[in-house]
Structure 1
Amino acid sequence: MQQLVAKIAIPIPEDQILISKVELEELKQQQLFGTYWSMKDLEQRINRKQEWIKEHILFPTKFRKILDIEEGGFVFYPQKKGQTWSFHARHMAKFLDDHFNQIFLNCN
């Protein structure tokens, strides 16, 4: 069998770089380290309003046992007026990925 070997040059614009998928994922994860989301941040991340998030993610017992910092989780649930929600970004992002089907399957 014959083979043809060719070398070509593909120009890459100055404002772009090539990186591996593994490196891209590592960069994405590093971006979330030490980052905390507010309720507004979470709304933007999943494109749902606060009321929906509370009803389908934060208050169902099966999820609250995982999420609530008082249960060893990574979400601060406000306990009195003036306190705000706080979400550990990296852990919350992973939770949302891991539980996507459970969250969105029965929430029409």
Structure 2
Amino acid sequence: ASAYDGTTAIMQALIDADADVNKRGGEYGTPLQAAADCGKVENVQLLLDHGALVNTEPIGMYGYPLQAVCETGDVATVRLLLEKGANVNAYAENSVYGYAIL
């Protein structure tokens, strides 16, 4: 929940308390998927800095993090995910954004 609509400080406190940055579940999938869908580059950066996996098979309805952020128009987060190795050809059949990223 905090990855989607929380502040970076709240996320940092949870990470400091050993929250799993790759925990999967629910509508948004992983914390990275949720942060990307929200277009909060600072939250995405924090998760990546603490080991979030950029190409984890998506669950939930928002697809891969790159797929989710492309819909938001947040170029900074798109570039960050690409720099971290996001697969531009990934697709998720269950995504509300369609199959292909482009």
Q: Normalising by structure 1, what TM-score?
A: 0.24
Q: Normalising by structure 2, what TM-score?
A: 0.25
Q: Structure 1 or 2: larger strand share? A: 1
User: Which of the pair has more CA radius of gyration?
Assistant: 1
Q: Structure 1 or 2: larger helix share? A: 1
